[in-house]
Amino acid sequence: MPPLRDLLDRPPLTAWDVVDILIVSVLIYEALKLIRGTRAMQMATGFVVVLALFYLSQAFPLQTVSWVIRNVLAYAVIAGIVLFQSDIRRALSHLGRAPFFRYFGRAERAAETIEEVMTAAGMLAKARTGAIIVLERMIGLRNYIESGIHLDAAVSYDLLTAIFQPVGPMHDGAVIIQEDRIAAASCFLPLTVNPKLDRDLGTRHRAAIGLTEECDAVAVVVSEERGEISLSVRGRIERRLSTDELRARLQDLILQKRGAEDEPRPAVETDV
C-alpha cells in the first residue's frame, strides 16, 4: 500500500526532531491548560469541528462545504484575534512568568518585594501590631511553608498588614516569602535555645533567630510591645531599625547576596 510505504519510508529520527516534538507538545499542553474551563475551550472545540469538516470535504465530493469553509478560514485569523484577545493576553502573561524568563526580571521583582515588606513593617510598627516576615534566599523553606496556610499570592503591604491583624485567623505564626510571592502564612518556626539572648526578646524574635540559625533566610520582626522593627540573619538580630535602615539592609542581603553583608551592623547589633 503506497500510503503505508510512504509512512514507513522516512528519514531517521534525530535529536533535533525530538526537541521539535517536545516543544510543540509543551506549547499545546500549556494552551489547553489555559483555556480549560473557559469559553475559549468551547470555541476551540468548534474550530476543531470546522477543521475536521474541511478535511472531510477534501476527501469526499462535498463542494459546497469545501467552498464555505475555505471562505470562512480566510478570515479565521482575524476573527480568532478578536474573539480570543483576553485569552491571548493571559497566555502571553503566563509565558512571561515561566521559570526560564523569571531570571531576567528577578532583580526588579526583588526590589518591589523589599519595598512592600518595608512599607508593611513600618505600618505594623506604627500600629504596634506584632509580625514576623521571612524572606527565603538560597536554602529552601519548604518544611516551614507546609506547616502554615498556603497562599501563593503577590507580595503587597495591604495583604501583609491584613494577615497580621489580631482579629484575623492567620495573625499567629510567620509569613514566608518565596520567589517574590507570599508562599504561606501562619507558619511555625523553630525557637532558638541560645541562653545569652536579652530577656526582653519575645517569642517572635526567638523564632526569627531560631530559623536564621538553621538557614540563610532573612526574618523581619515587628514588636507588638515596643513597636520596633528588627532584622534577624545568620542567628543574629539587629534591633530598633528605621524603615530606611531596613530597606538598605534588605537590599544588601536580598539583591546583592554578598557573604560579607550577612554580618549585622555593629551600631544596632544585639548582644547574643
Give the pLDDT confidence of 198-223 residue by residue, as tens digits.
877 888 999 999 999 999 999 999 99
> What is the per-residue pLDDT across 80-123, written as a single tens digit (0 to 9) for each?
777 667 666 666 665 655 555 555 556 778 889 999 999 999 99
Q: Is residue 245 scored above 90 in pLDDT? A: yes
Residue at a domain's end among 67, 96, 125: 96
The reply to whether 157 and 201 lie within a common domain is: yes
**Amino acid letter at 34?**
L
Q: Are the C-beta atoms of 143 and 176 separated by less than 8 Å?
A: no
Residue 175 is placed in which grid cell?
A: 509569613
Residue 138 is placed in which grid cell?
A: 538560597
The reply to whether 262 and 209 lie within a common domain is: yes
The reply to whether 243 and 189 lie within a common domain is: yes
Q: Structurally, how many domains does the chain consist of? A: 2
The reply to whether 152 and 208 lie within a common domain is: yes
Query: Which pLDDT band, with edges at 50, 70 and 90, does 265 fall under?
Result: very low
The answer to whether residue 204 sits within a structural domain is yes
* Region 175-191 average pLDDT: 92
Q: Are the C-beta atoms of 113 and 178 separated by less than 8 Å?
A: no
- Picking from 224, 240, 235, the residue whose alpha carbon sits closest to that of residue 196 is 235
Which residue in this structure is represented by grid cell 523569571? 102
Residue at a domain's end among 96, 131, 151: 96
Residue at a domain's end among 72, 96, 120: 96
- Picking from 179, 178, 229, the residue whose alpha carbon sits closest to that of residue 208 is 229
The reply to whether 163 and 65 lie within a common domain is: no
43, 45, 50, 52: CA torsion to nearest 10: 160
The reply to whether 139 and 63 lie within a common domain is: no
* Region 149-171 average pLDDT: 91
Most confident of 82-91, 228-237, 248-257: 228-237
- Of the two residues 10 and 179, the one the predictor is more confident about is 179
Q: Is residue 243 scored above 90 in pLDDT? A: yes
The reply to whether 187 and 229 lie within a common domain is: yes
The reply to whether 110 and 237 lie within a common domain is: yes
Which residue in this structure is represented by grid cell 470535504? 57
CA distances, 247 to each of 2, 112, 241 (Å) = 72, 11, 10
Using CA atoms, how far apart are residues 2 and 7, in angstroms rounded to an integer?
Answer: 9
- Residue 62 sits in which domain range? 2-96
The reply to whether 10 and 145 lie within a common domain is: no
The reply to whether 92 and 113 lie within a common domain is: no
Which residue in this structure is represented by grid cell 553583608? 261
> What is the per-residue pLDDT across 35-47, written as a single tens digit (0 to 9) for each?
666 666 667 777 7
CATH number reported for the structural domain that contains residue 187 in this entry: 3.40.1700.10
The reply to whether 128 and 90 lie within a common domain is: no
Residue 153 is placed in which grid cell?
A: 499570592
The reply to whether 46 and 126 lie within a common domain is: no
Contacts of 247 (CB under 8 A, 6+ apart): 114, 115, 118
Whole-number mean pLDDT of the chain? 80
Q: What is the 3-class SS of the chain, one letter each residue?
A: CHHHHHHHCCCCCCHHHHHHHHHHHHHHHHHHHHHCCCHHHHHHHHHHHHHHHHHHHHHCCCHHHHHHHHHHHCCHHHHHHHHCHHHHHHHHHHHHCCHHHHHHHHHHHHHHHHHHHHHHHHHHHHCCCCEEEEECCCCCCHHHHHCCEEEEEECCHHHHHHHCCCCCCCCCCEEEEECCEEEEEEECCCCCCCCCCCCCCCHHHHHHHHHHHHCCCEEEEECCCCCCEEEEECCEEEEEECHHHHHHHHHHHHHHCCHHHHCCCHHHECCC
The answer to whether residue 101 sits within a structural domain is no
Query: Which pLDDT band, with edges at 50, 70 and 90, does 33 fall under?
Result: confident
User: What global pTM score does this model have?
Assistant: 0.62
Rg of the chain in Å (alpha carbons): 28
Which residue in this structure is represented by grid cell 529520527? 13
* Region 157-180 average pLDDT: 91
